[in-house]
Amino acid sequence: MLEVTDLHAYYGKSHILQGVDLRIDAGEVVSLLGRNGVGRSTTVKAIMGEVPPQGSIRFKGTDIAGLPSFKIAHLGLGYVPEHRDIFPGLTVRQNLLLGVKDPRHPGKWKLEDMLGMFPNLAARADTAAGVLSGGEKQMLTICRTLMGDPELVMIDEPTEGLAPIIVQQVGDLIAEIARRGVAILLVEQKLSIAMRISHRVYVMGHGRIVFEGTPAELKANQAVRKEWLEV
């Protein structure tokens, strides 16, 4: 479904991504792991067109490298950024409805689904989104992306700064997304979530992929975990 080959990206003269290769198949959950600053977020931004990419990025057989972000989104690729972009002056309900690409052709995710899965959002459906807690804003951001009916969604650091109970809820939501057949590329610091829900994992170091395998293979590879993941 998504195949990235020899991906490079720069911030000014800084060479951030140095030949990244990865793939996500239909319905697959893949986690991109690594310490802060190794290029994980830049990878998803380059795929989504927010950072100029160099290399091959193919989504459902179409080369999307360099396309504007809105065109990539309309092809069925969703993106949940780490900074939890919401419209604080709009209600929760209005934020969710903004995620719908074409009201004439509703997708598999409906407003009632979102509110049904998250009683907290349902209780605040007509409340301004700006007053939500950090965890509620994260759920709202993910749910709004789903309203656009993506076939693959890239989620960047969804549990950053959240309380443990909210981390569990976010993990459950990601698992539910996968159960409904949506492929996921998850950028995550917390190994517990990634290891629980992923089919495969990639580990990044210094702008390159340094490991690819199953969660079980990563768990058994102490050398990789020690060199590239552990603090």
Residue-number span of the structural domain to which 38 is assigned? 2-85+150-228
Tell me the pLDDT of the chain (231 aa) as tens digits.
999 999 999 998 899 999 999 999 998 999 999 988 899 999 999 999 999 999 999 999 999 998 999 999 989 999 998 877 889 999 999 999 888 877 777 677 788 888 887 788 888 899 999 998 888 888 888 889 888 889 999 999 888 877 787 788 878 888 888 888 899 999 987 788 888 889 999 999 999 999 999 999 999 999 999 989 986
> How many domains does the chain contain in total?
1
Say how far residue 204 (Cα) sits from the centre of its chain.
16
Integer angstrom CA distances of residue 48 from 71, 93, 175, 194? 10, 26, 22, 21
Which tokens in the block code for residue 3?
């195949």
| pTM of the full structure | 0.88
- Residue 144 inside a domain? The answer is no
- Residue 99 inside a domain? The answer is no
- Residue 62 inside a domain? The answer is yes
- Residue 96 inside a domain? The answer is no
- Residue 95 inside a domain? The answer is no
Q: What is the CATH number of the domain that holds 189?
A: 3.40.50.300
